[in-house]
Amino acid sequence: MRDYVIRRLFLVVPIMLGVSFLTFAIFRIIPGDPCVIEQGFGATPETIKACREAHGLNDFWLQQYGNWVWDIVQPVLGSNAFGIDVGAKIIPAPKFDLGTSLTESDLAVTTELERRLPVTIELMVMTMFLALLLGIPPGVLSAIRPGTPLDWVSRFSSVLWLSIPQLYLGILVITFGANWFNWTPPQFGRGYVPFADDPWVNLQQFFFPALVLALGISAVIMRLTRSSMLEVMRNDYIRTAWSKGLRERTVVWRHAVKNALIPVITLIGLQLGGLLGGTVIIESLFNLNGVGKYTLEAILRRDFITVQSLVLMFAAVYVLTNLIVDIAYAWLDPRIHYA
Amino acid sequence: MAQEAAVPLEVTEKIRPRISPVRRALILSRQHPLGVMGLLFVGMLLVAGLFSELLAPYDPLANNHVTRAVGELTSSIGPDDKQIEVANFGAGANSVLDVDNEKMTVYYVVSQSGRTAVLEVLRGNAGTTKESHEAGTGLTSTRIDKLSGPSMTHPFGTDAVGQDVLSRTIFGARISLLIGFVAISIGVTIGTFFGVLSGYFGGVVDMLIQRIVDMILAFPAVVLLLAIIAVIGNEDSNVRQFLADSTPIPQGTFLGVPKFLDVFVVALGIGLAVSVATARIVRGAVLSLKENVYIEAARAMGASDARIMWKHIFPNVAALVVVLASVFLPIAILAEAAISFLGVGVPYPTPSWGADLTGPNRDDALEGYWWPVFFPGLALSLVVLGFNMLGDAFRDISDPRLRGGMGAGGGSGSGRGGGL
């Protein structure tokens, strides 16, 4: 098991390198100089030259990529680019310097990320929480009471939530919330309010975007939970549990659900990748200054340094979730062994 | 003996009566009402997309005007009168209005439900003689019929520039259909090609293709699409230049779709994304297919690799490819909507469901004009709902054991679309 995890972790490196290089290559193909886009109509040949010089865009392309990678892995003593003191005064740790974004302010990507990551992480955590809450109990209930109105309602609503695109659902929430209930989408004029500062305002800001994202995922979770429960409930050990005279609650929640949720775990892992994409849409719709909106803005600006940093992060999340899912699998089902 | 043998034959006849295909379809449709509903929605997409010109009451790009009576003259006016008196004007009071003789028009300022609009009434055509009017002549005002709510003339209302939302929604079906068809054709063709190649040859080819697929799958789908389309859709991108100059794909309106080339480029981007997933799945199927004895037999008979792949492998993955195409179709339609919504997809005047959900329409929606975003989004949702319900019904029919339980494959497949 330990060897398997280590081997998988080593595989992360080529994938991350490949993904970031692919992004770098794609954005070097795009015509349109980021320096020209950044300066707009006020650009003069001198300022563009200075900008290109400052961001090292005049270097040989392979060297540009190499410099970027070196700044990330370069071992440093003390605190890294995120300002986090990794406690490595003696042993050097990676610097994690992701470069400076190609905007007027020339902000370091890490500075932007520090500001925006909490927003996206909170959005994703809340989404997952809501999705599980709205997905698993209805799935289980509809499987143990097939054919009842409850089953019918949860199945139909799952098809419905699966079909309504998140962007449309978000617009409906904003439009009809504003027009009928006089509810305005959380204004980020006052900025992101951390949960620790004011939990009530924070939840107001995040509830609806998270709900819109969660409904679609909950539908997928519900459907899989239902079919997986139906399968499990036919097993012999469930019949044994019934014939032992156990209460329904024990049979269902103790014996069946635990096994039925194994495929659901994989699904949740897969959904996390899609969720990152979903944040791009929802954050621009609800005007949340998170990583998703940052990605969209960076792509539109041809700010490839930022985009490749973000994609690197996304790829890391994707690869690590897959690894965690595989490990969770072996942990949940003792029959699975990784050599 | 002969008689005894005839008895069981009769029994089997009774057990399995022959059902005509029509009757069979009727029975199936009674068992799966949701599937029928799905079929209906998908059918509506097809009809609306194919016959947009016949169904749409207006040109989807036309700025519709509305002519309204704004009052009538209380006294006759001559060509040089500087002022006119109008009855039933605006709120009902008689008003004295100044006439701008230079432009030969009358300017009114009307307050309509709190908003101020400048109306313009022509008193003769510019450059011709000024007209005289009798007392009692009705004055009309023609203006862009903007943001009028659902009515008999415009069942879905009009948007901020007076475009008929119903017509735009109907033409949006054509864009969706076109994007779906082009993207799926491109994606499935490229994906199957590399999938078969990768699965059949194995070794270095397989390793190379699959590692690239790994990398691309590590991108979130939306980010990947945005990046691809930002690259190839750019005004001076090589791909776009090539398509414009060296292929017969028209840049202007084609098949009733304005800016056809830009729509095609979006479809191409989605197709490339689809091809990656297709390649992975087809490769898996080919891996088990190539172990079959008939492949070995073909090789023993001296068939070339190309011939084996084309004549023996491809026909066997064709069914899978058709299924994949039907699964990816709604996902492609959703993807187009998502990237158009984010402002990278189909460019503005082209009626696209996703693009209509954003921009000025979205700002208007916040002020209470909900119809320009409501109906295109509803159409998009119904189409996806239709595909999902149809897919569920097919799964139920092919695997009755699940009794309405939705399989993992379909669940995660559609979920990916939902993620977009």
Measured between CB atoms, does B236 come within 8 Å of chain A?
yes
Q: Which of A175, A220, A281 is closest, CB to CB, to B365? A: A175
pLDDT of residue B116: 38
How far is the alpha carbon of A55 from chain B, nearest alpha carbon, in Å? Answer: 21
How far is the alpha carbon of A179 from chain B, nearest alpha carbon, in Å? Answer: 6
C-alpha to C-alpha distances, B338 to B143, B341, B346, nearest whole angstrom: 33, 5, 10
Q: Which of B34, B362, B411 is closest, CB to CB, to A220? A: B411
Is B227 close to A27, i.e. CB distance below 8 A?
yes
Number of A–B residue contacts, CB under 8 Å: 201
**What's phi and psi for B151, nearest 5 deg?**
-150, -175
In a domain, A151, yes or no: yes
pLDDT of residue A131: 92
Residue of B nearest to A299 (CA): B227
The DSSP 8-state label assigned to residue A181 in this structure reads S
pLDDT of residue B105: 45
- A-chain CB neighbours of B212 within 8 Å are 18
Burial tier of B21 (Cβ tally within 10 Å: 0-12, 13-18, 19+): exposed
Residue A76 in contact with residue A67, Cβ under 8 Å? no
**What would the two tokens of residue B147 be?**
């943001």
Rounded CA-CA distance B314/A196 in Å is 59
Measured between CB atoms, does B219 come within 8 Å of chain A?
yes
Which of B300, B276, B301, B282 minimizes the C-alpha distance to B200?
B282
Measured between CB atoms, does B138 come within 8 Å of chain A?
no
Residue A221 in contact with residue A213, Cβ under 8 Å? no
Measured between CB atoms, does B389 come within 8 Å of chain A?
yes
pLDDT of residue A280: 87
**What would the two tokens of residue B81 be?**
């009168």
The answer, yes or no, to whether ipTM is higher than 0.90 is no
Domain range for A75 is 2-92
Q: How many domains does chain A have?
A: 2
Q: How many CA atoms lie within 13 A of A144 on its CB side?
A: 16
Which of B172, B165, B186 minimizes the C-alpha distance to B381?
B172
Measured between CB atoms, does B216 come within 8 Å of chain A?
yes
In a domain, A306, yes or no: no
In a domain, A322, yes or no: no
How far is the alpha carbon of B396 from chain A, nearest alpha carbon, in Å? Answer: 12
Rounded CA-CA distance B372/B351 in Å is 12
Measured between CB atoms, does A127 come within 8 Å of chain B?
no
Residues A71 and A211 in one domain: no
Per-residue 3-state assignment (H helix, E strand, C coil) for chain B: CHHHHHHHHHHHHHHCCCCCHHHHHHHHHHHCHHHHHHHHHHHHHHHHHHCHHHHCCCCCCCCCEEEEEEEEECCCECCCCCEEEEEEECCCEEEEEEEECCCCEEEEEEEECCEEEEEEEECCCCCCCCCCECCCCEEEEEEECCCCCCCCCCCCCECCCCCEHHHHHHHHHHHHHHHHHHHHHHHHHHHHHHHHHHHHHCHHHHHHHHHHHHHHHCCCHHHHHHHHHHHHCCCCCHHHHHHHHHCCCCCCCECCECCHHHHHHHHHHHHHHHHHHHHHHHHHHHHHHCCCHHHHHHHHCCCCHHHHHHHHHHHHHHHHHHHHHHHHHHHHHHHHHHHHHCCCCCCCCCCCCCHHHCCHHHHHHHCCCCHHHHHHHHHHHHHHHHHHHHHHHHHHHHCHHHCCCCCHHHHHHHHHHHHC
Rounded CA-CA distance B77/B79 in Å is 7
C-alpha to C-alpha distances, A216 to A318, B377, B418, nearest whole angstrom: 19, 16, 6
A 203-262 residues inside an 8 A Cβ radius of B: 216-217, 219-220, 223-224, 226-228, 230-231
- A-chain CB neighbours of B382 within 8 Å are 163
Q: Which of B220, B238, B362 is closest, CB to CB, to A274? A: B220
Rounded CA-CA distance B94/B74 in Å is 9
- Give the residue from A38, A61, A92 where a domain finishes: A92
Rounded CA-CA distance A270/A264 in Å is 10
Long-range contacts of the stretch B84-89 (C-beta < 8 A, 24+) = B86/B139
Residue of A nearest to B222 (CA): A277
Which single residue is written with the structure tokens 């190379």? B208
Strand, helix or coil for residue A248: helix
In a domain, A12, yes or no: yes
- A-chain CB neighbours of B355 within 8 Å are none
Residues A226 and A289 in one domain: yes
Residues of chain B with pLDDT under 50: 1-2, 5-6, 100-122, 124-129, 402-420
Measured between CB atoms, does B231 come within 8 Å of chain A?
yes
Amino acid identity, position A272 = L
- Give the residue from A92, A118, A134 where a domain finishes: A92
Residue of A nearest to B393 (CA): A159
In a domain, A314, yes or no: no
Radius of gyration of chain A (CA): 24
A 157-186 residues inside an 8 A Cβ radius of B: 159-168, 171-172, 174-176, 178-179
Residues A77 and A123 in one domain: no
Residues A56 and A118 in one domain: no
Residues in chain B: 420
Rounded CA-CA distance B91/B209 in Å is 73
Strand, helix or coil for residue A94: strand
In a domain, A330, yes or no: no
Q: Which of B215, B226, B234 is closest, CB to CB, to A15? A: B215
**Span A280-295, pLDDT tens digits:** 888 888 888 888 888 8
Strand, helix or coil for residue A238: helix
Residue B71 in contact with residue B87, Cβ under 8 Å? yes
Is A271 close to B234, i.e. CB distance below 8 A?
no
Is B384 close to A163, i.e. CB distance below 8 A?
yes
**Span A125-164, pLDDT tens digits:** 999 999 999 999 999 999 888 888 888 888 888 888 888 8
Residues A241 and A142 in one domain: yes
Residue of B nearest to A16 (CA): B215
Residues A137 and A82 in one domain: no
- A-chain CB neighbours of B343 within 8 Å are 300
Residue B165 in contact with residue B371, Cβ under 8 Å? yes
Q: Which of B230, B342, B403 is closest, CB to CB, to A281? A: B342
Residues A154 and A17 in one domain: no
Rounded CA-CA distance A271/A255 in Å is 26
Angle (CA) B297-B302-B306 rounded to 5° is 95
pLDDT of residue B127: 43
Q: Which of A162, A226, A300 is closest, CB to CB, to B414? A: A162
pLDDT of residue B420: 38
Is A224 close to B411, i.e. CB distance below 8 A?
yes
Q: Which of A171, A263, A274 is closest, CB to CB, to B373? A: A171
**What's phi and psi for A326, nearest 5 deg?**
-60, -40
Rounded CA-CA distance A311/A298 in Å is 11
Residues A142 and A277 in one domain: yes
The domain that holds A209 is classified in CATH as: 1.10.3720.10
**What's phi and psi for A101, nearest 5 deg?**
-75, 155
A 47-106 residues inside an 8 A Cβ radius of B: none
Is the sign of the CA dihedral A30, A35, A40, A44 positive or negative? Answer: negative
Output the furthest CA–CA distance in chain B (Å, rounded): 116
Residues A160 and A68 in one domain: no
**Span B29-41, pLDDT tens digits:** 787 788 888 899 9
Residues A79 and A174 in one domain: no
In a domain, A325, yes or no: no
The DSSP 8-state label assigned to residue A78 in this structure reads S
Residue of A nearest to B226 (CA): A299
Residue of A nearest to B344 (CA): A300
Residues A132 and A232 in one domain: yes
Residues A188 and A233 in one domain: yes
Residue A238 in contact with residue A252, Cβ under 8 Å? no
Which region, left, alpha or beta, applies to residue B146 given φ > 0 means left and ψ of -120 to 50 means alpha? Answer: beta
In a domain, A163, yes or no: yes
Q: What is the mean pLDDT of each run of 10 residues along chain A (339 residues)?
A: 79 81 77 68 73 72 79 69 60 68 70 83 90 91 86 86 88 80 59 73 81 90 89 88 88 85 82 81 84 85 80 83 80 69
**First and final C-alpha spacing in chain A:** 7
- Give the residue from A67, A92, A117 where a domain finishes: A92
**What would the two tokens of residue B106 be?**
């009358």
Rounded CA-CA distance A212/A306 in Å is 27
- Those residues with Cβ within 8 angstroms of residue B20's Cβ, 6 or more apart along the chain or in another chain: none
